[in-house]
Structure 1
């Protein structure tokens, strides 16, 4: 009875082992297939690359120094061109320099043998890496070189959609560069106009300061002359001398209005933008408190361009009022204000 149970137990154990064995076999088969795709196949592709074929993965590491291009490309046969193309691939010279890169060598091979499998396969498999180089040329704004590389890619695969993307990026970068250049020119022009305006304002302020200084010097000289006249006259009787002194004192108390504060006229924006200049002759009344009133345009060239700016400036002028018998009185005056961009 015990022997029978032992037999049954062994039989069941064997039945349980079979699924485990099947699973192990499946795992081994999967590992073998993976080894083929991950180890054996890449190794064969690398061997093909060393023999002059095309790489299936991008080369890593720093590119080797470029070799000199063959002296006479037209005289090279297919095998020599393939050899030069293989050297260019190993040095990662996909599209540059011009005349000494893998794509041009392979295209020359196809020109001699249109159905050459090595050149056809190499151009197809290296296209993504070459397109990356062309994109770098676009991003660095080396537009002429980028256009040359894109044209070279188009000779290898004119229907590749990557070319559409590269051309769009190149066009966008060119437009952006043009916009930035235009903005720089506009900023430079605005800076020049601002500098010219500042120079004009400085010259006008200096001119007005000179005029004010001249007016003050003239007034001081007139006052000094009036004060010296009594001493130059012959001495007479006491009463005539007193009368003359009184008259001289009254004369010294008579004077014209003197400009104390001038205001720079604001240059109209439209005229400044177009570089237009002109002048305005303004008439006005100096009141007894030194302010201006009745400000009006007498003449202007051109009319109605600088009138408002000139009258607004005169409105802010301040004077020492005219004096008569020692008392401030109103007086009329004129002022010509010139506008110039300095061009």
Structure 2
């Protein structure tokens, strides 16, 4: 339990450092955006990385400002892959909870930039650990609106 606490604290500090240094920017690579969400999730979940490696990669992604985004190399994707293997992993759950406030703006920009499907998928990943979160409900409504009325 102490080791999990230390890892959780390390992830918290790395996340805070990313926020303080302003690394929580959203950058979007249109080439990677062409991958379907299923392809992204499947490739990371099927990778040979173990849970500890996935958690380490999530921490690295946070430190580099890759909170959410295209491809499967953002912190949210690594945490989701951990939860695919261990649905109640406390470190991944806590990491996602801490990531949400920093990532909400990036998700909103993603949806507003025409990537509502990916934004909705990310909202669904966060909802695994925060099913009643108001911010997620608002982002979900925004994504659904964009998909329904703008088609993207």
Q: TM-score normalised to the size of structure 1?
A: 0.32
Distance 1:150 1:72 in 2: 18
Q: CA deviation at 1:142?
A: 2.3
Question: 2:68 is paired with a residue of what secondary structure?
Answer: coil
Quick one: which of 63, 70, 79 aligns to 2:52? Answer: 79
| Aligned match of 1:144 | 117
Q: CA RMSD in A?
A: 3.4
Gaps of 5+ in 1: 1-44, 179-343
Distance change in 2, residues 1:171/1:77 (3 Å): closer
1:2-38 CA-partner distances (Å, limit 9, x unpaired): xxxxxxxxxxxxxxxxxxxxxxxxxxxxxxxxxxxxx
4+ long deviations beyond 4 Å: 69-73
2:143 aligns with: 170
Distance 1:175 1:86, change over 3 A: same
Paired positions, count? 127
Distance 2:80 2:147 in 1: 29
User: Retained in 1: the 8 A contact 2:67–2:103?
Assistant: yes
How far apart, in 1, do the equivalents of 2:48 and 2:148 lie? 42
1:125 pairs with 83, 88, 98, which one? 98
Report 1:39-58 matches (<5 A).
48-49=9-10, 53-54=11-12, 55-56=15-16, 58=19
Check conservation: 2:117, 2:143, Cα contact below 8 A: no
Identify the structure with the greater helix proportion: 2
In terms of fraction of residues, the more strand-rich structure is 1
* Aligned pair partner of 2:63 in 86, 90, 93: 90
Whichever of the two has the greater Rg, that structure is 1
Unpaired segments ≥5 residues, structure 2: 1-5, 29-39
The reply to whether residue 60 of structure 1 matches residue 33 of structure 2 is no
Aligned to 2:126: 153
**Can you list the C-alpha shifts for 1:26-64, whole angstroms capped at 9, x where unaligned?**
xxxxxxxxxxxxxxxxxxx9x933xxx23247243355x
Alignment of 1:206-245 (within 5 A): none
- Correspondence for 1:99: 72
- Superposition deviation, residue 100 in structure 1: 1.4
The SS at the match of 1:169 is helix
In the superposition, the TM-score normalised over structure 2's length comes to 0.64
Distance 1:126 1:137 in 2: 16
Equivalent residue number for residue 83 of structure 2:
110
Query: How many Å separate the matches in 2 of 1:120 and 1:165?
Result: 21
CA distance in 2, matches of 1:105, 1:72: 9
Q: In structure 1, how many angstroms separate the alpha carbons of the residues matched to 2:104 and 2:80? A: 16
Over 3 Å counting, the alpha-carbon distance change for 1:115 and 1:141 in structure 2 is closer
